[in-house]
């Protein structure tokens, strides 16, 4: 089987390299991108998470300089994903994001972050229940940014409002949520019920069980679902201690990444080709459909932003063997 190269909309780091590290170099970035390329990923949106404005500026400038001066950045990185800081700071919803840096949507901040970048911010994740979200979503769309939601407790009306304003995506659906929710009035059902939202899913068996993933695929349909990793620097690396966005995290022998001493997950160690294999092994999709959820669908989800910024993706071609291992044919 042949396919387009895989594309990851949400990747915070890889192979020991943290994209949120303000000291990242072109060489370190290339190390991560080479490892991703070996796993069949020919494009990605490096993702920065919640931080104070000055930290975000430093991190974006460092990442963008690394992309601009790296060997693979021009081909593999069309732009960036900003997850936060406009998220819900309540316990259970905030995840590993620093709650004291969270704030209401700030269009001027995002404009300032993007004005000196070689590559644009193409995707932004927020919580639409925060004050001013409707106007911010409209403004971000006018700036050529696809808007998604996560780390949110938005109700049915707020999700519908966000979709009316132009929000089109659920980031890592089923995560960034407390363990206990109201049985019928909750944001997970609200997002599943909104037909205008595509859903990004982390198929590692930890963020979503195989059964939960299958249920979401049935509700959203495969055409409306995207496989992502939410990988941190521990992906493609050995178990041990790491620093992600300034936070100590631990990758254990079972493949979960958590803040030291915490029970909640802090990103993943998932590789996107493994997500494809997992979906196939769980009989959640056929091989061509699973590959499409990690290649065609993510590109389709950000197509409007790519068109706005006149960006043409270099796609590449993969050949998949009988064990669903990808081999890059062209790039």
Q: What is the full per-residue pLDDT of the chain (331 aa) written as tens digits? A: 999 999 999 999 999 999 999 999 999 999 999 999 999 999 999 999 999 999 999 999 999 999 999 999 999 999 999 999 999 999 888 878 989 999 999 999 999 999 999 999 999 999 999 999 999 999 999 999 999 999 999 999 999 999 999 999 999 999 988 878 888 889 999 999 999 999 999 999 999 999 999 999 999 999 999 999 999 999 999 999 999 999 999 999 988 999 887 778 889 999 999 999 999 999 999 999 999 999 999 999 999 999 999 999 988 899 999 899 999 886 5
Q: How many CB atoms are closer than 10 A to CB 195?
A: 10
The beta strand positions in the chain, using DSSP E, are 2-4, 6-11, 13-14, 17-18, 41-49, 80-83, 121-126, 146-149, 169-170, 198-202, 225-228, 240-244, 247-251, 256-259, 265-268, 317-320, 326-330
How does strand 169-170 pair with strand 198-202? parallel
| pTM score | 0.97
pLDDT of residue 183: 87
Please indicate if the annotation marks 83 as binding a ligand: yes
pLDDT of residue 331: 57
Any idea what the Cα angle at residue 149 is, between residues 146 and 152, rounded to 5°? 160
* Nearest alpha carbon to residue 7 among 207, 322, 226: 226
Sheet strand arrangement including 2-4: 2-4, 317-320, 326-330
> What CATH number does residue 94 fall under?
3.20.20.140
Residues annotated catalytic, as ranges: 230
What residues make up the domain containing 227? Answer: 2-330
Q: Domains in the chain: how many in total?
A: 1
Q: What is the CA radius of gyration of the chain?
A: 18
Please indicate if the annotation marks 158 as binding a ligand: no
Please indicate if the annotation marks 160 as binding a ligand: no
CA dist 56 and 113 (Å) reads 7
């Amino acid at each position: 089987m042949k396919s387009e190269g895989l594309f990851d909309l949400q990747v915070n780091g890889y192979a020991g390299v943290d994209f949120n590290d303000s000291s990242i170099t072109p060489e370190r970035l290339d190390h991560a991108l080479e490892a991703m390329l070996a796993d069949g990923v020919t494009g990605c949106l490096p993702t920065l998470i919640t931080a104070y404005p000055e930290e975000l500026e430093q991190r974006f400038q460092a990442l963008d300089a690394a992309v601009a001066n790296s060997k693979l950045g021009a081909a593999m990185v069309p732009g960036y994903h900003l997850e936060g800081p406009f998220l819900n700071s309540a316990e259970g919803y905030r995840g590993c994001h620093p709650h004291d840096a969270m704030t209401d949507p700030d269009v001027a901040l995002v404009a300032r972050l993007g004005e000196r970048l070689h590559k644009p911010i193409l995707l932004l994740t927020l919580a639409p229940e925060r004050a001013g979200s409707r106007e911010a979503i409209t403004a971000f769309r006018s700036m050529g940014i696809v808007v998604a939601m996560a780390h949110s407790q938005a109700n049915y009306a707020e999700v519908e409002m966000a979709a009316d304003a132009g929000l089109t995506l659920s980031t890592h659906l089923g995560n960034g949520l407390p363990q206990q929710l109201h049985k019928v009035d909750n944001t997970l059902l609200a997002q599943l019920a909104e037909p205008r939202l595509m859903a990004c899913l982390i198929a590692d068996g930890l963020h979503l069980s195989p059964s939960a993933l299958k249920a979401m695929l049935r509700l959203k349909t495969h055409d409306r679902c995207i496989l992502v990793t939410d990988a941190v620097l521990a992906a493609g690396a050995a178990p041990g201690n790491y620093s992600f966005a300034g936070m100590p995290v631990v990758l254990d022998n079972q493949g979960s990444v958590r803040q030291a001493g915490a029970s909640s997950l802090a990103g993943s160690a998932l590789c996107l080709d493994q997500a494809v294999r997992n979906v196939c092994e769980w009989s959640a999709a056929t091989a061509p459909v699973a590959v499409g959820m990690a290649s065609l669908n993510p590109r389709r989800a950000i197509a409007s932003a790519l068109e706005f910024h006149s960006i043409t993706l270099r796609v590449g071609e993969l050949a998949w063997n009988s064990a669903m291992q990808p081999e890059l044919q062209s790039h």
